[in-house]
Amino acid sequence: MENYSDILYETDGRLAFITLNRPEKLNALSNNLRAELMDAMREAEHDDEVGVIVLRANGRSFSAGYDLSPSRAAGDDRFVSARSKLPDTGSTHPGANQWARHVVMTNWIIWELAKPVVAQIQGHCLAGGTELASVCDFRIVAEDAQIGYPPVRAMTTMDMMWTPWHLSPAKAREFAYLGDSVSGTDMVTYGWANYAVPKEELADFTEKFARRMGHIDNEMLMYSKRAVNRQYESMGIRQGLHSGTEIQALSSSRAAASEWRRRVQDEGLKAALEWRDGPFRDFRGAYESAPKDRPVAGMERQDGSGTDGN
């Protein structure tokens, strides 16, 4: 639809394609992009001709996560709520440290959607990108895709604690504690993704998968999705994810969190990301300028040496 600026929306027979369209920013999830996305999801739900929704992304990555740049995170675009400047969830989310609660409430829109959503994932799928993909019904990934949650290294716990619901206990902890990059192939083995295919085959495979599902009538798909969802809800997924948002708020108030915020303010976002990932030597930590041997946040020597992280 031509009114969207950060996504593309099109239909083809029984399929609706929603495409994240900020490739120059690795499809970082600004508030406006997320608001447009949820609007397009509702549009596809409303269209009786559509049976299945495919969520995909332009460029080399599905999504690098939430947009941390103030210019885009402010959310002053037309699809966000006029009151909260966030995607509309029915609440303005007043007060400090409400971001994770807002994220989970936004993602419930896809959870409750009457139609199945198939996520097509290439390149990086990080942090908030994993949360968006995890709330979809199916995930089809490129074999060399890189899925991870690096913010847990210095910022906060996961905004939406999806790992215990998709992974084994051991892998759920590993993913949530370390934030390391995991390949698409491994994420199939772990149970998060349905299929991993060579990246050049990803679009065709995903479309064929979605079109096969499209042979089923809309109400049958709705009731099948609802039946599975209610089983997870009986097991406590709603309470669990909302409880996780309270822990995320607590983690953002810990003493060492101020180190991350200070570095963003004083040195800029890119330098802060290099500081965060430096010892892990992946993501931004792979850059030569990243501090590979920085002290643990909050544990710099009392004499002040080493506080620059080098």
Among 79-83, 99-103, 254-258, the range with the most confident prediction by mean pLDDT is 99-103
User: What backbone phi and psi angles, to 5 degrees, belong to 256?
Assistant: -70, -15
How confident is the model over 257-284, as a mean pLDDT?
A: 93
C-beta atoms surrounding 108 within 10 Å: 15
pLDDT of residue 73: 53
> Which CATH number does the domain housing residue 15 bear?
3.90.226.10
Domain contains 258:
no
168 in the Ramachandran plot: left (φ > 0), alpha (ψ -120 to 50) or beta? Answer: beta
DSSP 293-304: TPPPTT---TTS
Could you read off the pLDDT of 45-65 as tens digits, one per residue?
A: 999 999 999 999 999 999 999
Does residue 308 register a pLDDT over 50?
no
User: Checking DSSP bridges between strand 138-142 and strand 195-197, what pairing results, if any?
Assistant: parallel
Is residue 261 a part of any domain in this protein? no
In a domain, 23, yes or no: yes
Asked if residue 303 belongs to a domain, the reply is no
Residue 29 DSSP label: B
The pLDDT of residue 39 is above 70 = yes
150-187, pLDDT tens digit by residue? 999 999 999 999 999 999 999 999 999 999 999 999 99
Long-range contact list for 86-89, CB < 8 A, 24+ apart?
86/31, 86/35, 87/31, 87/34, 87/35, 87/38, 88/35, 88/38
Cα separation of 292 and 11, whole Å? Answer: 47
Residue 310 has pLDDT above 60, yes or no: no
Per-residue pLDDT of 281-307, as tens digits, reads 999 999 999 999 999 988 764 445 443
- Determine the average pLDDT of the residues in 214-241: 98
Across 60-84, average pLDDT: 81
Domain containing 71 equals 7-217
- Helix H or strand E encompassing 224: helix 218-234
CA–CA gap between residue 141 and residue 144 (Å, rounded): 8
Q: How far apart are CA 150 and CA 29, in angstroms?
A: 16
Q: Is 196 helix (H, G, I), strand (E, B) or coil?
A: strand
Tell me if 255 is assigned to some domain: no
Q: What are phi and psi of 200, to 5 degrees?
A: -70, -15
Name the amino acid, one letter, at 275: W
Length of the chain: 310
Residue 308 lies in a domain: no
Domain contains 284: no
In a domain, 295, yes or no: no
Task: Give the total number of structural domains in the chain.
Answer: 1
How much is the pLDDT for 1? 55
